[in-house]
Amino acid sequence: MHPTACHSYHNTFIIIDTKHITVNDIFLFIPNLIGYLRIVTAVLSFISMRSHPIFTLVFYGISGFLDAFDGYAARKFNQGTRFGAVLDMVTDRCATSSLIVYLGTIYPNYTFFWQMLVSLDLASHYMHMYAMLSLGSASHKNVDSKQSKILSLYYNNRSVLFFVCLANELFYVAIYLHYYNFFWLGTILAWLSAPVWFFKQFANVVQLKNASMILARMDAEDKSK
């Protein structure tokens, strides 16, 4: 990388010196700071989850809502990093898995269902990221339509990505609120978000299959040599 980078904002050219970026600078990039705040609010939602559904709704909602801003900040301030990308995905997966784990405690009759959902979510995203990195992609979101039209639409269209992720989280939150008889809000939100939640699970299956095919194809090519 050249020691300086030129960026244009509203026809004003600014020269940014990138030669002296340190590890500590990366940790303090704006999108990463947003990521840390997401972690804090998510943990606060875990603490309040058993006894304070209103606090849980607020904290978990803030954590999910901030997910829309770390990527925006990364693009706006040219602060996209590998660390930030992984931090974002790990926070998403941990928050969702932790909420599902709690659903398993209040709906024990559906424990197997919750276990399968966590397993599918973690397995599909881990294998997808590993497969994309193995292909030399700079981001797990750089999915070509030739690989999968569904995944390409999901990852490359920010509106679709935001809406699907929002509805997916809303479904789990709704199931949580339903248990606490939250003024029928949980029941209504669960029915409204269920179709998009189902699409997200289908996308996870497609993602798992697609990643498996990529890795197996690379293995076959290596063994053939």
In-domain check, residue 94 = no
pLDDT, position 140: 81
Q: Please give the Cα distance from 194 to 185 (Å, whole number).
A: 14
In-domain check, residue 102 = no
If asked whether residues 72 and 20 sit together in one domain, one would say yes
- The CA radius of gyration of the chain, in Å to the nearest whole number, is 20
pLDDT, position 9: 37
Residues with Cβ within 8 Å of 180's Cβ and at least 6 positions away in sequence, in order, are: 53, 186
How many helices (H) and strands (E) are present in the chain, helices listed first?
Answer: 8, 2
Indicate the DSSP class of residue 4. E
pLDDT, position 13: 37
34, 73 in Cβ contact below 8 A? yes
Selected catalytic residue, list 67, 70, 92, 121: 92
78, 53 in Cβ contact below 8 A? no
pLDDT, position 19: 63
If asked whether residues 120 and 225 sit together in one domain, one would say yes
Residue 2 has pLDDT above 70, yes or no: no
In-domain check, residue 100 = no
If asked whether residues 140 and 186 sit together in one domain, one would say yes
Tell me whether strands 4-9 and 12-17 are parallel, antiparallel or unpaired. antiparallel
Task: Work out how many domains the chain is built from and give that number.
Answer: 2
pLDDT band at 5 (very low <50, low <70, confident <90, very high): very low
| Strand, helix or coil for residue 91 | helix
Q: Write phi, then psi, for 146 (nearest 5 degrees).
A: -70, -30
Q: Higher confidence at residue 113 or residue 1? A: 113
Question: Quick count: other Cβ atoms within 10 Å of Cβ 97?
Answer: 16
Structure tokens at 218: 């690379």
Domain that holds residue 16: 1-81
Instruction: Tell me whether residue 92 is one of the annotated catalytic residues.
Output: yes
